[in-house]
Amino acid sequence: MVKVVRIADRPPVPWKNGAGTTRELWARRDAAGEALIRISIAEIRGKQGFSSFPGIDRVILQLDGPPMVLTIDGHQHRLKPLTPLAFAGEADVFCDADATEPAHDLNLMCRRGHYIPAMARITTVSGVPQSFGSDGAVTALLALTHSTLTLPLPVSLAPLDLVLADGPVTLCTEGAGDFMRLGAEGCP
pLDDT by position in tens, the chain (length 188): 789 999 999 999 998 888 789 999 999 999 999 999 999 999 998 898 999 999 999 999 999 999 999 999 999 999 999 999 999 999 999 999 988 899 999 999 999 999 999 999 999 999 999 998 888 889 999 999 999 988 777 899 999 999 999 888 888 999 889 999 998 888 76
Query: Distance from first CA to last CA of the chain, Å, rounded?
Result: 23
Under 8 Å CB-to-CB from 167, ≥6 apart: which residues? 133, 134, 135, 136, 137, 139
What pLDDT, on a 0 to 100 scale, did the predictor assign at position 145? 94
Count of all residues that appear for the chain in the document: 188
Tell me the C-alpha to C-alpha distance, in Å, between residue 54 and each of 90, 154, 183: 4, 39, 20
What pLDDT, on a 0 to 100 scale, did the predictor assign at position 18? 80
Question: Can you identify the CATH homologous superfamily of domain 10-111?
Answer: Jelly Rolls (2.60.120.10)
| Structural domain spans, the chain | 10-111, 115-186
pTM for the model stands at 0.93
CATH topology for the 115-186 domain: Jelly Rolls (2.60.120)
What pLDDT, on a 0 to 100 scale, did the predictor assign at position 174? 92
Per DSSP bridges, beta strands 13-14 and 21-29 are antiparallel
One fold for 10-111 and 115-186: yes
